Amino acid sequence: MIHTSHLSKIYKNDAVETIALSDASFEIKKGEFVAIMGPSGSGKSTLMHIIGALDTPTSGTYALDGEEVGKLSEDELADIRNRKIGFVFQSYNLLPRTTALKNIMLPMVYAGLPKEERIKRASDLLEMVGLSDRRSHTSSQLSGGQQQRVAIARSLANNPSIILADEPTGNLATVQGEEIMAIFQNLNKKGHTIIMITHEPYIAQYAKRIIYLKDGKLVKDESNHRQKKVRF
Amino acid sequence: MDFSETLQSALEALTLNKLRTTLATLGVVIGIGAVIALVSLGQSGQKAVEAQIKSLGSNLLTVIPGALRPGDIRSAAGTSTTLKLADAKAILADKSISGIKNVSAEILRRSQVVAGRNNTNTQVLGVLSSYQEVRNLQMQSGRFITETDINSLAKVAVLGPQAASDLFGDVNPVGQTIRINKLSFRIVGVTVAKGASGFQNQDDIIFIPLTTAQKQLFGVDFIGTISIQLEKQELSDQVRNQVGFLLLARHRISDPQNADFTIFSQADVLGAAAQVTGIFTTLLSGIAAISLLVGGIGIMNIMFVTVTERTREIGLRKALGAKKKWIIIQFLTESALLTIVGGILGILLGTVLSFVVSKIINLPFTVSMISIILAVGVSGGIGIIFGWYPAQKAANLSPIEALRYE
């Protein structure tokens, strides 16, 4: 599903070159639950941007579902993000003063789905994250955990190939964080591919595979045999 | 996303900060309102001037003594002595000139006029009986100067309404006596008000027989103006030429360049007046257009603020798959909505303003349709032109940078 080879990203700022990612090659198959770990400055955000088609690598190749992403135009990248990637951010990033239902419908709007279908699908997704009774609440009327659950519902809007979560529990208390992990494990069980970026080891334990980054290099890539399970 | 949804989301975004939206719109409201009010008032003024000039008598040619050549010094009106009553009679009598309906000859002087204990300094106009028809004068009471008055050098007078009220107040002047330069005149009629035209107050005036004016009052043998009433306006140029050659021949002048008289038509006066009011309208509209431009810049400023404020939102929308096109459409819809609403309010404001002002300064009320259509087009255009740059800026934001923006 994801195939990268020799991915590098170099930021040029005036005369200073910063190597954010160097020579990262790995593969992620359908149905995996991968945690990408590393201290800050290790290049995990850069890697997430590239996997999320928000940015393109300086060198190396990145193929998503067999499609080479590195050479696409800005609008084509937007299309990839819309159809194939579901984002979950640390700070939720819901539209303020907008209802939960409308937030979930936003990616479907850009995909050009008819209104009736959008409403139906968004309602189903809200039910799946257990927030059917909050459909008309605006973002500010929801708790952090609820906002993140709406964000997860939104990430599933266009039935993407991968769910890309950037520190999804970073702003949440432990209990709420576990709720989010429960949803992820549940989604993973249903066949969704999940890539999660975190610097907290105990959160990474919920994944099936952990990739370690340090100074822009991939230092360790191992299966997590002691995957923590959340009781539902 | 269809049009109604785009519009709805733009409306939602604009209502989030009502005060700011109102202030931004106000610039456009004032700009468009000023343009509409000034163009409408300008056109009303133009119509009023045209109507007044037409009320002098339509299809009119006027002959005055003296040349009206650019660069020449022309002697003061009334001091040239080259036009005679015989010239006027010759024009009417000349059967080779076709298209003339009537001819009138006049002489104008200012005089002190006394009636009982009242006195006023006003215009005294010696006229022929044909003046009434040529100048389209209506009688309020009594009669106008007749042929018999002319032939008998009768000391009779017809008052304009202003002169009548100055001298007699509310009393009916017909049958009363006035003294002009110590000569007594019996009043036989009062004319209906025609209003002041650009160069002559047609109401503050006293009409007396031309012959009486020349021989008994002023002691002169020349006349001040010959008015020629035409059958059709289209004949104006033709008759002007024929009359010109007739007068040149009568005055024994071979070179038309040296003519000692000038002929002008109502169209000339109308054209000159229209030009003046046109210049004023253009100038005022220009000033109003500047305020519209300032309003547009205000919109641009607000849109920039909005883009900066919503950087995170734009980043999120792009991350979720919004193409550049969508971001541009979103922001352009917002700015166009601002200016179109402003434009509509501006049209209302301008219409009300021009109505009130035209009532105050007593002009006919007109609203220029062209200016309304133009205003709607311009206000929508302003929204798109001044919204374009901020929208581009928003669409070109990098989603990563925008999401990081605090």
**Per-domain boundaries in chain B:** 3-52+274-404, 67-259
To the nearest whole Å, the CA of A178 is away from the closest chain B CA by 25
d(CA B90, CA B333): 73
The overall longest dimension of chain A from CA atoms, in Å, is 55
- Please state, rounded to an integer, the average pLDDT across all residues of chain B: 86
Asked if the model's pLDDT at residue B74 lies above 90, the reply is no
Closest partner CB to B326 (pick from A81, A97, A110): A110
Closest residue of B to A102, CA-based?
Answer: B9
Q: How many distinct structural domains can be found in chain A? A: 1
pTM higher than the cut 0.80: no
Q: Which has more confidence, B90 or B271?
A: B90
Cβ contact (<8 Å) for A78 and B400? Answer: no
Is B312 within 8 Å of chain A by CB? yes
**Three-state secondary structure of chain B:** CCHHHHHHHHHHHHHCCHHHHHHHHHHHHHHHHHHHHHHHHHHHHHHHHHHHHHHCCCCEEEEEECCCCCCCCCCCCCCCCCCEHHHHHHHHHCCCCCCEEEEEEEEEEEEEEEECCEEEEEEEEEECCCHHHHCCCCEEEECCCCHHHHHCCCCEEEECHHHHHHHHCCCCCCCCEEEECCEEEEEEEEECCCCEECCEECCCEEEEEHHHHHHHHHCCCECCEEEEEECCHHHHHHHHHHHHHHHHHHCCCCCHHHCCEEEEEHHHHHHHHHHHHHHHHHHHHHHHHHHHHHHHHHHHHHHHHHHHHCHHHHHHHHHCCCCHHHHHHHHHHHHHHHHHHHHHHHHHHHHHHHHHHHHHCCCCCCCCHHHHHHHHHHHHHHHHHHHHHHHHHHHCCCHHHHHHCC
Q: Whole-angstrom distance between the N-terminal and C-terminal Cα of chain A?
A: 29
Is B319 within 8 Å of chain A by CB? yes
Give pLDDT, residue B48: 82
Query: What residues in A contact B320, CB-CB < 8 Å?
Result: 81-82, 87, 106-107, 110, 154
Cβ contact (<8 Å) for A78 and B321? Answer: yes
Residue A232 belongs to a domain: no
What does each C-alpha distance from B211 to B126, B156, B179, B215 come to in angstroms?
Answer: 7, 11, 17, 6
Cβ contact (<8 Å) for B5 and A109? Answer: yes
Give pLDDT, residue B318: 94
What does each C-alpha distance from B197 to B78, B190, B193, B229, B269 come to in angstroms?
Answer: 19, 19, 12, 19, 11
Provide, rounded to the nearest whole percent, the portion of chain B with pLDDT above 90. 34
pLDDT confidence of B198, banded at 50, 70, 90? very low
To the nearest whole Å, the CA of B1 is away from the closest chain A CA by 6
Average confidence (pLDDT) over B345-354: 92
Residue A19 belongs to a domain: no
- Please state, rounded to an integer, the average pLDDT across all residues of chain A: 92
Asked if the model's pLDDT at residue B346 lies above 80, the reply is yes
Element (H, E) at A163: strand A162-166
* Across A114-118, A167-171, B182-186, B272-276, least confident range: B272-276
Is B240 within 8 Å of chain A by CB? no
Give pLDDT, residue B215: 92
Cβ contact (<8 Å) for B316 and A95? Answer: yes
CATH of the domain at A52: 3.40.50.300
Cβ contact (<8 Å) for A109 and B16? Answer: no
To the nearest whole Å, the CA of B330 is away from the closest chain A CA by 12
Query: What residues in B contact A110, CB-CB < 8 Å?
Result: 1, 317, 320-323, 326
d(CA B107, CA B128): 10
**Residue type, position B32, single letter:** I
Closest CA relative to residue A88, chosen from A231, A194, A10: A194
- Over residues A81-112, the pLDDT tens digits come to 999 999 999 999 999 888 999 999 999 999 99
- Determine the structural domain holding residue A40 and report its residue range: 31-58+74-223
